[in-house]
Amino acid sequence: MVAIIGQSVLIVAWILALYAVIASVVAAYRHRPEWAVSARNALLLIFPLLSVVVALLVWALVTYHYEIEYVHNVSERAMPLYLRATALWGGQAGSLVFWSWLMAAFASAVALRDWRRDREMLPWVVAVTAGTLAFFLFLNVVLETPFKRFWALPDGNIQASVLPPAGARAFFPKDGRGLNPLLRHPGMVAHPPFLYLGFVGFVIPYAFAMAALIVGRLDARWIRLTRRWAIVAWLFLFLGLILGSRWAYDVLGWGGYWGWDPVEISAFMPWLTGTAFLHSVMIQERRNMLKHWNMLLIIITYDLVIFGTFLTRSGVLSSVHSFAQSAIGPAFFTFITLTFLGSMALLAWRWNDLRGKEQIRSAWSREALFLYTNLVFVSMAAVNFWGVVYPIVSELFTGQKATVGPPYYERVMGPLSAIMLFLMGVATVAPWGKVDTRRLFRMVVKPALVGLLLPAWAWWQGYRKPGALLGFALIGFVIAVVLYDIARGVWARHRVHREPLWRALVHLLTRNRRRYGGYIVHLSIAIMGIGIIGIEFFQLETQRTLAAGESLSLGRYTMVYDSVAIFNTNDGRQVARATVTVKDQQGRVVATLHPRQDYYIRDQQPMTIPGVHSTWGSEFYVLLVSWRPITAEGATFKVYYNPLVKWLWASPWIAIAGALLAAWPETRRRRATAPARAATQAPAPASA
């Protein structure tokens, strides 16, 4: 019954999405507002219907409905409740349902807004969002339904299908196969939802952009309507990437935060172009420039979102993150091609209408620096895109699938990241319009000198490689220039309004939230850079076999191998758990670690769990590679010394604060009284 109801509701939701597209187009072409209202209502109905589908699927997962193929493939009785519930996105069919459900939630929130000022855009916004939703629901209804049931055929074979084959009877397995062992980690509870929230969030700005192109409303209105959507999407995608990095760090045994895996990169690319978009739209709002560029960026971001979902779910690339193999690849490729070509055709149609009268008047103006930064971000995305698709292109033309390893990415991304940091720092204090380069130099040189304190500290701590010192100098420059600009604004308010410094800071941040929220995000990126430099330049690693009581030294620590215990668990694992003692340079015991290997007997798959001793200065990361009885050869360990990586894990909290500040809506009272205050108060300096 659960499967029958779930599949029926899924089909109804798909039909409603198709109807919403058709009704919206009819409303727009025939100028029939009642059809637009009908399309909007259809879109609003999809979310509660998909909520029923999600609830039924989760219910089936937690109550052992193993007669449903999807439940059988991703769940088992031995799994804890939270893993059975979150197995909703542990397989392909369920993750596509989850994607559609989130998309329906975002689409409903947009449909419920007040459309009186933007009535002509409503049908097209509904058409684009409903069209995207209809595609993903098509995948679930036709190609990857989560509600196939097992049937025992007369010849004794077992078949999975939605409808019962002739002469078949229902088959009820006693237990499921269980979730992929690599996904049985708390990080995977949050990682896919955050990524998907970021993916679907960027659909909303794209829908408004296409609506603006179609109706010819080419001012900055569509940008203002979607600014918070874009910020929230960017934040969720950023957090999803960080959570994925942490999962890989804790489970995959890479010893680092990033492996340049194709599916990692597939989520990284829309984040890069989305970051460029968030910077670029500020120029259009402020200077009425770069309209073509903004449209192009949101089109690329949207299709990279679909492309990222395609890579994750299609299994077209070999990846530790890709757990699906199916026939949905051609459908994804067709949809990406059609949406990209259609969007570019619309952009070409409106190309001349998007031309602005304003021009960049100085190579060092803020708008020029933002444009350079955007070119850097797009270059990064292009480098990553080629690295991902090259194996596919190679196999297509040569019959052999080539591989692209980390050296390719690191050789290009390092210099581009350095350029990005430099531009980020200068753009913070650069004015709009015409620029006095001497004055700009004077504004930059002071924080640049202060920023040299960071490489000086790094030298003192022993981090002395030239490339790392350059990176520390650029990071110090960004941090110093952001703090310098905030301090100037606070001091200006303190002098003009006689406010205490703490109150001046609060007022400065809350009355220009977008600007200073962006500054805080810049601080988080700079702090993340400290951790990245620590790993990329100064990571140490070694591998040795130790007998009980033997030790090895790496970095600032010495590790002593104590023992290993081997035991079976109730959930089908054989666990080899080592005990090691970690000592500092003075010989003091600082930690007792328990690196282990969990071998899932039925899946015949091992999972390596490191033991980690963490401080703000470094992390000592120990992997158990293999083991023998203590009386024989002992155990083999792979050990990493990861300097400064803790700063990488701390940076997302700062980014959350900055993004929330930038996206937080102003109160109505403040918006209403802003003109009156502006007329009565003395003008603040440029930095305020």
Q: Among the three residues 179, 198, 230, which one is the final residue of a domain in this structure? A: 179
Q: What is the pTM of this model?
A: 0.88
Can you give the residue range of the structural domain that contains 14? 1-179
Q: Residue 230 carries which side chain, given as an amino acid letter?
A: A
With respect to residue 657, please indicate whether it lies within any of the assigned structural domains.
no
C-alpha to C-alpha distance for 182 and 192, rounded to whole angstroms: 14
With respect to residue 528, please indicate whether it lies within any of the assigned structural domains.
no
Q: Among the three residues 160, 179, 198, which one is the final residue of a domain in this structure? A: 179
pLDDT of residue 629: 57
pLDDT of residue 687: 34
pLDDT of residue 654: 93
With respect to residue 247, please indicate whether it lies within any of the assigned structural domains.
no
Q: Among the three residues 127, 158, 179, which one is the final residue of a domain in this structure? A: 179
C-alpha to C-alpha distance for 41 and 35, rounded to whole angstroms: 10
C-alpha to C-alpha distance for 614 and 650, rounded to whole angstroms: 12
Could you tell me the CATH number of the domain that includes residue 147?
Answer: 1.20.120
With respect to residue 11, please indicate whether it lies within any of the assigned structural domains.
yes
With respect to residue 399, please indicate whether it lies within any of the assigned structural domains.
no
**Under 8 Å CB-to-CB from 88, ≥6 apart: which residues?**
54, 57, 58, 61, 94, 95, 97, 98
With respect to residue 618, please indicate whether it lies within any of the assigned structural domains.
yes
pLDDT of residue 349: 94
With respect to residue 546, please indicate whether it lies within any of the assigned structural domains.
yes
**Under 8 Å CB-to-CB from 20, ≥6 apart: which residues?**
39, 40, 42, 43, 46, 126, 127, 130, 134
The total number of structural domains in the chain stands at 2
Alpha carbon distances (Å) from 155 to 158, 438, 603 = 9, 86, 28
Q: Are 173 and 67 in contact (CB under 8 A)?
A: yes
Listed as ranges, residues in the chain with pLDDT below 70 are 312-326, 629-633, 666-688
pLDDT of residue 608: 86
**Under 8 Å CB-to-CB from 570, ≥6 apart: which residues?**
78
pLDDT of residue 667: 59
pLDDT of residue 100: 94
From 539, 610, 535, 617, select the one nearest 580 (Cα to Cα): 610
Phi, psi of 409 (to 5 degrees): -70, -45
C-alpha to C-alpha distance for 17 and 296, rounded to whole angstroms: 26
With respect to residue 46, please indicate whether it lies within any of the assigned structural domains.
yes
